[in-house]
A = this chain, B = another copy of it.
Amino acid sequence: MRQNTSIMVGLSRKQREIQDREAQILEVARGHLLDGGYLGLSMDRIAAQMEYSKGTIYQHFRNKEEILIALANEALHLRTTMFERASLFPGTSRERVAAIGAAAEAFVETAPHYFMVEQIVRASSIWEKTSAERQEVMRMCERRCMAIVGGIARDAVAHGDLSLPEGVRPEEVVFGMWSIYLGAQTISSSSDTLGEIGIHSPLTALRRGQNKMLDGYGWRPLSGEADYDAHMDRVKQELFSDA
């Protein structure tokens, strides 16, 4: 998360403190966002909790939205990183998409605040106030994620694991995965009565639903049903259990 560790080598204590301050602010902001949503995020509150003055906060972030965007950047950064690691997990193309799924699960589980940030940013109409350069970073990350997963799909096509009908682009398959994951995770995180309507294990449901979709597309499956779960749990365990 502390993405600038390398830059910090060789700085004086004071300089390090300053570098850290930005990260601290974001940490606090993250907390507020988590238990208050967008409205829970307030410069006043951040300053109060940090025991810094409001002015100090403003020296790091020109306005509230910049904080939100910075958090979103961090979120996308983390997601991208996790997707990248997952995409390199050795195995068949089907195992590699599954690994991405595992990464998506791990993302929500280990960094629920970041998932929330993404949701809020998606919903808010804060884009006007935001500096163009930060916006660009966001779009870049989105493209990157798409590229990673899209690349696996293209590999699958190239290796003959997946043969798409005329006029269907690999990105479309990715869109399907993206949708089902986003939808399922949104529902899971916002509904507390899933059990009542018969969904006892959203995670199982999500995994199976997504596998069935890929099966439907004709993506060469693993040998047995249970293999998916085993594989995904292994990916989570090996790649993301520390985070």
The chain A residues found within 8 Å of chain B, CB to CB, are: 35-40, 119-120, 122-125, 139, 142-143, 146, 150, 165, 168-169, 171-173, 175-176, 178-184, 186-187, 190-191, 193, 196-200, 202, 204-206, 208-217, 225
Contact = CB atoms under 8 A, between A and B. Distances in A.
Contacts of A205: 172, 175-176
A5 B120 CA distance: 36
A86 B119 CA distance: 30
A37 B176 contact: no
Nearest to A123: B123
User: Quick one: copies of this chain in the complex?
Assistant: 4
A198 B146 CA distance: 9
A216 B155 CA distance: 22
A64 to B, nearest CB: 12
A37 B125 contact: yes
Contacts of A191: 142
Contacts of A120: 123
Contacts of A186: 122, 182-183, 186
A208 B199 CA distance: 24
A179 B139 contact: no
B184 A198 contact: no
A175 B190 contact: no
A171 B198 contact: yes
Nearest to A184: B179
Given A120-B123, A179-B183, A179-B184, 8 more contacts: A37-B124, A40-B125, A169-B198, A169-B200, A171-B199, A175-B202, A176-B180, A215-B216
Contacts of A213: 176, 180, 209-210, 212-213, 216
Contacts of A122: 186, 190
13 contacts: A37-B123, A38-B123, A122-B186, A123-B190, A139-B193, A142-B191, A172-B204, A172-B209, A175-B199, A179-B181, A180-B209, A183-B183, A183-B186
B199 A172 contact: yes
Contact of A125 (B36, B125, B139): B36
Contacts of A123: 37-38, 119-120, 123, 190
